[in-house]
Amino acid sequence: MADSAQAQKLVYLVTGGCGFLGEHVVRMLLQREPRLGELRVFDRHLGPWLEELKTGPVRVTAIQGDVTEAHEVAAAVAGAHVVIHTAGLVDVFGRASPETIHEVNVQGTRNVIEACVQTGTQFLVYTSSMEVVGPNTKGHPFYRGNEDTLYEAVHRHPYPCSKALAERLVLEANGREVHGGLPLVTCALRPTGIYGEGHQIMRDFYRQGLRLGGWLFRAIPASVEHGRVYVGNVAWMHVLAARELERRAALMGGQVYFCYDGSPYKSYEDFNMEFLGPCGLQLVGARPLLPYWVLVFLAALNALLQWLLRPLVLYVPLLNPYTLAVASTTFTVSTDKAQRHFGYEPLFSWEDSRTRTILWVQAAGSSAQ
């Protein structure tokens, strides 16, 4: 990626490139990265939609692989200029064991870093999460905070623990010498709750509302703000960060950036209604219909049932003590660090993000995807 080789075409690798965010990153790279020569899409489960991308001018290589397998990762990374590591096990519902979550999110990330070092890949962008910071186990609010806001980040749940460990590995790897003698340059992006086309929980809420005759019932007070960011803007931020890492290595290397855009600050449920409302659903109640202690009880009961039933069947309700804590603790960001460091501006306005999401919910809710 030297200046003398302006016309050089670059090889990008996106791990988890067939996931919700990963697909948007892949499509964004193809649309907005003029230096892209080859795009490698690495995922445990490859999506059929990749086929249509193979007919374009950029070489798209689909690689079925597992980030926990070091040799598979090394083979995929070899010869790549930039890695965007977005693969991860996103499980806050108790589907996977804590060991599996750790293996994929922490060991998988370690494998990606080691592969960069061994093969001489110099630029690594990691998809971290707001969960690395909070909400913490004490339920402290994080109100319009930024990357420098002091906050007691204490976790017990395997998902945030794994993301925090993985993020640390990525940041500590900044400056390590890669094969060929150059320094590795890394940064971590921390999205808040991502929404947009492909957001399965949103689709599930829509279908649930349809089953209940068009009604959803408020469980969380409207005053609890939950940070949200549009998937297209998160993808754009990844593409921009990856592009600028070389030019601004000294500034960006080893840094974390919250992902943000113009999405309004609202409670989790009120925010979802921005999309579900125009699709015909209504949120019942200006206040939660059940007292908070009942939700705490139900969440604990769900956790107990999950544990008791585990030998027989996997019981994975949406509500558990962890998801209740996240949904009912204010966590919002207000920052311009990505703008200052690498010129990020959201590509999609709130109006665009909202319209695109509504159209997707309408289509996804009525089809069997």
Ligand X SMILES: NC(=O)C1=CN([C@@H]2O[C@H](COP(=O)(O)OP(=O)(O)OC[C@H]3O[C@@H](n4cnc5c(N)ncnc54)[C@H](O)[C@@H]3O)[C@@H](O)[C@H]2O)C=CC1
Ligand Y SMILES: C[C@@H](CO)CCC[C@@H](C)[C@H]1CC[C@H]2[C@@H]3[C@H](O)CC4=CC(=O)CC[C@]4(C)[C@H]3CC[C@]12C
Give the footprint of ligand Y on this chain (CB under 6 A).
90, 92, 129-131, 193, 201, 219-220, 268-269, 318-319, 323-324, 326-327
For the bound state, the minimum distance from the C-beta of residue 124 to ligand Y, rounded and expressed in Å, comes to 19
| Residue 272 contacts ligand X per CB under 6 A | no
Comparing CB distances to ligand Y, the nearer of 119 and 357 is 357
From 13, 18, 169, 281, residue interacting with ligand X (rule: CB under 6 A): 18
For the bound state, the minimum distance from the C-beta of residue 141 to ligand X, rounded and expressed in Å, comes to 19
**Residue 39 and residue 33: Cα distance in Å, rounded?**
11
Three-state DSSP state, 40: strand
For the bound state, the minimum distance from the C-beta of residue 90 to ligand Y, rounded and expressed in Å, comes to 5
Three-state DSSP state, 65: coil
Task: List, as own/partner pairs, every contact residues 317-320 make where C-beta atoms lie below 8 angstroms and the sequence separation is at least 24, other chains included.
Answer: 317/93, 318/93, 318/201, 318/204, 319/295, 320/92, 320/93, 320/94
Tell me which residue of 98, 252, 89 sits closest to 175, measured CA to CA. Answer: 252
For the bound state, the minimum distance from the C-beta of residue 260 to ligand X, rounded and expressed in Å, comes to 12
327 touches which of ligand Y, ligand X, none (CB within 5 to 8 A by kind)? ligand Y
Distant-in-sequence, close-in-space partners of 77: CB < 8 Å, separation ≥ 6: 13, 83, 112, 115, 116, 119, 121
State which of positions 125-184 bind ligand X (CB under 6 A). Answer: 127, 129, 163
Distant-in-sequence, close-in-space partners of 182: CB < 8 Å, separation ≥ 6: 120, 122
Enumerate the H helices of the chain as residue ranges.
20-32, 50-53, 70-77, 98-102, 108-119, 158-173, 200-211, 231-244, 249-252, 268-276, 292-309, 321-327, 337-342, 350-366
Comparing CB distances to ligand Y, the nearer of 62 and 89 is 89
For the bound state, the minimum distance from the C-beta of residue 133 to ligand Y, rounded and expressed in Å, comes to 11
Token pair 């999205």: residue: 191
Comparing CB distances to ligand Y, the nearer of 129 and 186 is 129
Candidate list 159, 195, 206, 268, residue with the active-site label: 159
Comparing CB distances to ligand Y, the nearer of 12 and 195 is 195
86 touches 21 (CB < 8 A) = yes
CA dihedral 87, 46, 33, 251 (to 10 degrees): 10
16 touches which of ligand X, ligand Y, none (CB within 5 to 8 A by kind)? ligand X
- The stretch among 190-198, 264-272, 276-284, 305-313 that binds ligand X (CB under 6 A) is 190-198
Comparing CB distances to ligand Y, the nearer of 95 and 247 is 95
Which residues belong to the active site? 159
Q: Which residues bind ligand X (CB under 6 A)?
A: 16, 18-22, 43-45, 66-68, 86-90, 104, 108, 127, 129, 163, 191, 193-194
